[in-house]
Amino acid sequence: MEREQALLIVKQQLTEQRYEHTLGVVETAVKLANQYGADVKKAELAAIFHDYAKFRPVEEMKQIILAQNMPNDLLAYNSELWHAPVGAYLVQTEVGINDPEVLDAIRYHTSGRAGMTVLEKIIYLADYMEPGRRFPGVDDVRRLAEEDLNWALLQAVKNTIAFLLEKRQLIYPDTIHAYNSLMREVKGEAKQ
């Protein structure tokens, strides 16, 4: 699917502000894909659609998680997590995108997971550090991203976990698994 057509489709699903965020994620993801040798077209498509389900009603997302046999432990954690797997499903069924790598990048863009692909890492990181994001620590992550994808992502995941701890929120296990897996990667140990 062409960029302009994809952007028109997603624009209808989002607020103006969320659409601007999406354009920032696209710009950042394309840059990271060029830098780290990922498929630029896939990065662009995943970035365009990563928040496709962001504004679906919680009840609709819940029904999709149950009906599609998604990990139902999701329902025991923050509903902020749900738009990612539900988005992957809706982008496939409503938009007709079938590339499993693109769909996985959307599916894991919020939680992360163990053994993330380069494309998944790029989308997580682009979502975290696009130019419109302004929170403490984001500039450190932007600097790290110029040098090393894994270190930048590790810092972003660490900041996210610290933020959740500070707010006394639950932490979804895949986020912890992402952290452990990246830590093993940067330490040069076997991936797990």
Q: What is the binding site for ligand DGI (CB under 6 A)?
A: 21, 51, 54, 77-78, 80-81, 84, 109-111, 127, 160, 164, 169, 171-172, 175
Other CB atoms within 10 A of residue 106 CB = 30
Amino acid at 40: V
Looking at the Cβ atoms of 84 and 154, the one nearer to ligand DGI is 84
Place of tokens 């496709």: 52
Looking at the Cβ atoms of 51 and 104, the one nearer to ligand DGI is 51
Looking at the Cβ atoms of 80 and 148, the one nearer to Fe ion is 80
120 binds Fe ion (CB under 5 A): no
Query: What is the distance between the alpha carbons of residues 173 and 130, in angstroms, rounded to a whole number?
Result: 25
Site string for Fe ion, 41-70 (x = CB under 5 A): ----------x-------------------
Q: Decide: 50 and 106 in contact? Cβ < 8 Å.
A: yes
Which of ligand DGI, Fe ion, none has residue 142 at its interface (CB below 5 to 8 Å by kind)?
A: none
Residue 82's nearest CA partner among 98, 59, 101, 116 is: 59
Q: Decide: 151 and 123 in contact? Cβ < 8 Å.
A: no
Amino acid at 43: A
127 binds Fe ion (CB under 5 A): yes
Looking at the Cβ atoms of 124 and 190, the one nearer to ligand DGI is 124
Which of Fe ion, ligand DGI, none has residue 175 at its interface (CB below 5 to 8 Å by kind)?
A: ligand DGI
Query: What is the distance between the alpha carbons of residues 2 and 134, in angstroms, rounded to a whole number?
Result: 30
